[in-house]
Chains A and B, each alone.
Chain A
Amino acid sequence: MTFRFRDLLALEPLTADELTFLLDQSKPFQAIQRNPLKKLATLRGKTVALAFFENSTRTRISFGTAASRLGADTMNLQAESSSVKKGESLLDTVHTLDAMKPDCLVMRHSASGAADFVARHLEIPVINAGDGTHEHPSQGLLDALTIRDRLGKIDNLNVTILGDLQHSRVARSNIHLLGKFGCRFTLCGPAMWVPRELEKIGAPGVSIRRVFKLEEAIEDADVILVLRVQTERMHEPSISNEDYVHGYQLNTERLRRAKPDALVLHPGPMNRGSEITPEVADGPQSCVLEQVTNGIAVRMALLYLLISGAPEDGSSEPPAVPKEEAQPQQNRRSTDKKDLSHASD
């Protein structure tokens, strides 16, 4: 198995085999999180550029930690303190970063498709750390890894996603990943936030339904993914927090309507008391802290794969925990030229 993509921009184009490969690649890095000494030298001498054009704490720290535990250096760009505030175009900003010769660009941006746009202009691998309301691929992977660890599988599960579906890149990445394993989705939230088109965004055959009553939506769920209400992305008149809590907060009483072993996931940051109560967030069904830990493992795997190149021996075996003496694979970029026709427009 080789990873045929130079970048990781979205989970939608990946096959089930490729997704399984990425999850398997993350396993050895999970083990490292439990070691007293967590630092490897696999990417020593490599540099990861972290360009966060939109505020982020956990994802940025997670990618930064992943890079550092692989021995890579990082360079950081944060929108508030950067030339972006001074009106520089996105293209100029990333070209400037690129000129400092990083080996990979991890970027978050408020515009959907921004990572895709940047990747068309750069030679180095680009990892999408969240683009607008499109996708958040590493989140989708870490959620799947967490579910697989707890339930032993990710096939044919009933997955209920609660909240503001329309503006959720996490929901899209989860649908595109778990949908390839036969999972069935129930989307639940205020109707304005769960547009009917979402029922058709999956690959052909993926079952996605909308249900507007929370109790009904979680009845058969194996996994409940609670989303944060994203006030910063609202374009429509919002509904009041009280009304949202009234209809859609996941609390202990409501959770009792679900299967007793149903998992509760939340991508964070949580608004305790809003979309989720503290009792549920901290309860035995909650996976939120495992999600955070797994996030580092997934991101280490992604950085390792995209910077070092995937194993090209055709074996489907995940590599052992990368050893210090392991030779980095040849970078695949030269054989994976992209269409750069736009660059000359």
Chain B
Amino acid sequence: MLLIKNGRVLDPASKTDAALDVLLDGEKIAELAAPGKLSADHKNAQVFDAAGLIVAPGFIDLHAHLREPGQESSETIETGTRSAARGGFTAVCCMPNTKPVNDNASVTRFILDRANKACGVRVWPIGAASVGSKGEAIAEIAAMKEAGIVAVSDDGKPIATAKLTRQVMEYSRSLDIPVIEHSEDVSLAAGAVMREGVTSSRLGLRGMPAAAESVCVARDVQLVELTGARLHVAHLSAKASLEQVRWAKQRGLQVTCEVTPHHFTLIDEDVQYDSRYKMNPPLAAREDREALVAGLTDGAVDAIATDHAPHEPALKDVEFDKAPFGILGFETALVLSLEQLVHSGRLSLMRMVELFTTGPARVLGIERKLAAGQPADLTIFSTTHEWTYDVKQSPSKSRNSPFDARTFKGAPAATIVAGRIIYKM
């Protein structure tokens, strides 16, 4: 048994914001009660003093790359999940663009087997939508679902054609599984290494217009109208894309989206030939960032997701044009959210917690709440602790973070999965 006492419990599902003690029994939550008022016998419980800390449901990351199997020099499920635990994540959805691609049940089972031997963060694999994510034939979605995938995606690129997207949507709808789309018109984005704009023109770097994303979102939203599927737009970065999502939501379509911390923190003007600022979708314009923050505030955006994309130093330490897309995300997600959204007064703490918990849970069609009988997955964090991020201290195998040496206010204090503390500050 584990007793978490003196904390401030924030539970978006029940709209609870109160000083409560939480008693965990085995893998489940046993009871929540006012401080010192637990009815259950907890004399032998291990005690975690959460005084001054926030106690929230376990954070879920809808979008991460754990690189195993196939690219273990950049990350493994073991190192990636340890980094996730440090960032306060209790569950991580891993994208299928591994080598081999997670497009069949045996790869799914391999990933889950590795995850079981890792640090304890729950790993929820996302299966490929098409075989090898090549955009030709539909992957074995039914078998993968039985093996444990929570969604399908060809992330890294969009599902290649409108026709295949339609078919994947029809099939996924029948299997009650969401389709996660990396929205990009690859012809508009061909050769681009950043967002098109004054900065790309100044730097002489090839840019992709915002429309490279929004054209694909518009296509997919129309296909949701056609098929009735659940569509989740990954790492949405453009104002125009968000307007498509808003339109779909107003029509009652099951369309959701996520935004990454780097897209609501940085903009294209921050790019200076430093490959730690190179990711896809690329850092957007100032007005896009404003639109994303507005969407996070008013509910148009459903979740904050990291798009944790480790690349070993040798791969990133090259010309900007040659560097692969992607940056680390787990350990800076909560603190950037606090910095950019909460401390700045744009979002309530409750809304921010929702974007890490019930928001992503709804995308996956599951519950996330603090109540007796629920899985004992909790994220405990400080909103005041000051510290400086040193990427060299990260358990991740990679170092590609633009936030290295940034000072933050607030930090994950403990990550609890199935009643067990897997990370403690």
Contact = CB atoms under 8 A, between A and B. Distances in A.
Interface of A: 12, 89-91, 109, 111-114, 116-117, 131-135, 166, 169, 172, 195, 197-198, 200-201, 235, 341-342, 344-345
Nearest to A132: B204
A235 B318 contact: no
A112 B322 contact: no
B201 A112 contact: no
B156 interface: no
Given A90-B319, A195-B201, A200-B198, 13 more contacts: A90-B318, A113-B273, A132-B205, A133-B204, A134-B205, A172-B204, A197-B196, A198-B201, A235-B191, A342-B317, A345-B276, A345-B316, A345-B399
Nearest to B322: A111
Nearest to A198: B201
Given A235-B190, A345-B400, A134 B201 contact: no
B214 to A, nearest CB: 18
Nearest to A175: B202
Given A117-B273, A201-B198, A134 B318 contact: no
A118 to B, nearest CB: 9
A195 B207 CA distance: 11
Contacts of B298: none
Given A113-B273, A114-B319, A197-B196, A131 B204 contact: yes
B313 to A, nearest CB: 5
B361 to A, nearest CB: 35
26 contacts: A89-B318, A91-B317, A91-B318, A109-B319, A111-B321, A112-B321, A113-B321, A114-B319, A116-B272, A117-B318, A133-B205, A134-B204, A135-B204, A172-B202, A195-B196, A197-B197, A197-B201, A200-B198, A235-B191, A341-B405, A342-B274, A344-B392, A345-B313, A345-B316, A345-B399, A345-B400
A116 B204 contact: no
B206 interface: yes
A345 B197 CA distance: 29
B320 A117 contact: yes
A135 B273 CA distance: 13
Contacts of A172: 202, 204
Contacts of B399: 345
A195 B274 CA distance: 24
Nearest to B315: A89
Interface in B284-322: 313-314, 316-322
A75 to B, nearest CB: 22
Interface residues of B, number: 30
Contacts of A114: 319
Contacts of B190: 235
B97 interface: no
Nearest to A235: B191
Q: Count chain B CB atoms within 10 A of each CB in A134, A135, A345 and give the residue with the most.
A: A345
Q: Count chain A CB atoms within 10 A of each CB in B190, B191, B321, B404 and give the residue with the most.
A: B321
A74 B251 CA distance: 69
A116 B205 CA distance: 13
A contacts with B: majority SS:
mixed
A239 B317 CA distance: 36
Contacts of A91: 317-318
B40 interface: no
Given A235-B191, A342-B274, A111 B200 contact: no
Contacts of A341: 404-405
A230 to B, nearest CB: 12
Nearest to B197: A197
Nearest to B401: A345
A89 B319 CA distance: 9
Contact of B319 (A111, A344, A345): A111
A109 B276 CA distance: 21
Interface in B192-235: 196-198, 200-206
A230 B392 CA distance: 43
A89 B316 CA distance: 11
Nearest to B190: A235
- Listed from nearest, the 4 A-B pairs whose CB atoms lie closest are A113-B273, A134-B204, A133-B204, A112-B204
A80 to B, nearest CB: 18
Nearest to A90: B319
Contacts of B201: 166, 195, 197-198, 200-201
A338 to B, nearest CB: 13
A341 B392 CA distance: 12
Contacts of A111: 319-322
A5 to B, nearest CB: 16
Contacts of B200: 197
Nearest to B202: A201
A113 B404 CA distance: 21
A235 B206 contact: yes
B204 A197 contact: no
Contacts of A344: 392
A112 B205 contact: yes
A140 to B, nearest CB: 14
Contacts of B313: 345
Contacts of A342: 274, 317
Q: Count chain B CB atoms within 10 A of each CB in A91, A113, A166, A200 and give the residue with the most.
A: A113
Contacts of B204: 112-113, 131-135, 169, 172
Contacts of B198: 197, 200-201
Nearest to A134: B204
A341 B274 CA distance: 11
A12 B202 contact: yes
